[in-house]
């Protein structure tokens, strides 16, 4: 059976930066309080003329350029997002149109919130293995600031906007390992985007307890499915939710030789964009050797999770 691999990455963030000092002028908070609890210094905020598909379009263009491909080389577009306000055309169709895809690509959005990108990457891998696609564009894009309650100091300090993209193509030597995915449906209320207009809310302590107690074993199982020992990992890219979650989780996995992505410090929680954006930056800076094993592990909304080990492009 033909496998698949990630051949190129790209990311995009809006120009506007929101600092902790900016937030302190809006709600009862301060830089020390934010850094000590979530580890975030800055986050990027998209303007009214930068909807989700615009963020995704820019990241996708960079990934295609990195792969040396044209939009017409893509036959599957997947966009992971939970902040698309419009229902149709979906974000994948809008990105395909913005890119000027002249073929007839399949276009799908996936809403698995913070683990959306790793779900989408697995979906692309499965489609390619099944022979339904040859090249896929997989994008995580979210405009979290548009659904943020700016009066709630426990959540408004977290959110940021951005997009990350990967080009995935068929290959004989698989570069994307088996996915481990699942959820805890009875705890779906712990992370919510509800209402009209929709607003992001979460039960922070419930999420923190679940991630720090349950996820290390799941992440190690991802490595086991890929036939990789945690100490062999060159990098660990977890959903960039909170530095207080990322650092203990990476340590408990046992990836003692791995570079750990900490993009949350500069970008905040960008939901489905966080993993591809953090990975793209590590690759751009040359911090991961080509072909080295990298653990991707998304978790969050729905208390869902998905992870796989990939080979660095």
Residue partners of 141: CB distance under 8 A and separation at least 6: 52, 53, 55, 56, 59, 79, 80, 81, 91, 162, 163, 164, 272, 273
β-strand pairing of 199-202 with 180-183: unpaired
Q: In a 3-state reduction of DSSP, which class is residue 260?
A: strand
**pLDDT tens digits, one per residue of 192-229:** 999 999 999 999 888 989 998 999 999 999 999 999 99
**pLDDT tens digits, one per residue of 1-40:** 689 999 999 999 999 999 999 999 999 999 999 999 999 9
Q: In a 3-state reduction of DSSP, which class is residue 152?
A: coil
What's the whole-model pTM score? Answer: 0.97
CA distance 119 to 300: 12
168 and 6 in contact (C-beta within 8 Å)? yes
**pLDDT tens digits, one per residue of 157-170:** 999 999 999 999 99
The 10 Å Cβ neighbour count of residue 183 is: 16
Would you list the DSSP string of 104-139? Answer: --EEEEE--GGGHHHHHHHHHHHHHHTTS-SEEEEE
Residue intervals of the chain classified under CATH 3.40.47.10 are 3-171, 180-312
Tokens in use for 301? 């909304």
**Which residues participate in catalysis according to the annotation?**
114, 239, 269
pLDDT on residue 1: 60
Give the CATH superfamily of 180-312: Thiolase/Chalcone synthase (3.40.47.10)
CATH class of 3-171: alpha beta
């Amino acid at each position: 059976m033909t496998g698949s691999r990630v051949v190129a990455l790209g990311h995009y963030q809006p120009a506007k930066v929101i600092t902790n000092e900016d937030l302190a002028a809006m709600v009862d908070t301060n830089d020390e309080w934010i850094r000590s609890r979530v580890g975030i210094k800055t986050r990027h905020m998209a303007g009214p003329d930068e909807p989700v598909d615009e963020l995704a379009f820019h990241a996708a263009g960079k990934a295609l350029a990195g792969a040396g491909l044209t939009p017409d080389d893509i036959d599957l577009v997947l966009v992971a997002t939970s902040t698309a306000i419009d229902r149709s055309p979906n974000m994948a169709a809008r990105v395909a149109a913005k890119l000027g895809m002249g073929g007839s690509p399949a276009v799908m959005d996936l809403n698995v919130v913070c683990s959306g990108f790793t779900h989408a990457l697995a979906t692309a891998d499965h489609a390619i293995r099944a022979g339904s696609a040859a090249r896929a564009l997989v994008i995580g894009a979210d405009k979290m600031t548009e659904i943020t309650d700016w009066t709630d100091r426990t959540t408004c300090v977290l959110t940021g906007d951005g997009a990350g993209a990967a080009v995935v193509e068929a290959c004989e030597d698989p570069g994307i390992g088996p996915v481990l995915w699942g959820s805890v449906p009875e705890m779906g209320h712990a992370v919510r985007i509800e209402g009209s207009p929709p607003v992001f809310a979460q039960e922070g302590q419930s999420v923190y307890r679940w991630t720090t107690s349950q996820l290390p074993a799941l992440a190690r199982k991802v490595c086991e499915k890929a036939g990789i020992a945690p100490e062999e990992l060159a990098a660990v890219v977890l959903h960039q939710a909170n530095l207080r979650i990322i650092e203990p989780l990476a340590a408990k996995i046992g990836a003692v030789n791995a570079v750990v992505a900490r993009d949350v410090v500069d970008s905040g929680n960008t939901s489905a964009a966080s993993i591809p954006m953090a990975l793209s930056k590590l690759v751009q800076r040359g911090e991961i050797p080509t072909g080295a094993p990298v653990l991707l592990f998304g978790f969050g909304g729905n208390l869902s999770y998905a992870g796989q080990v990939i080979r660095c492009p």
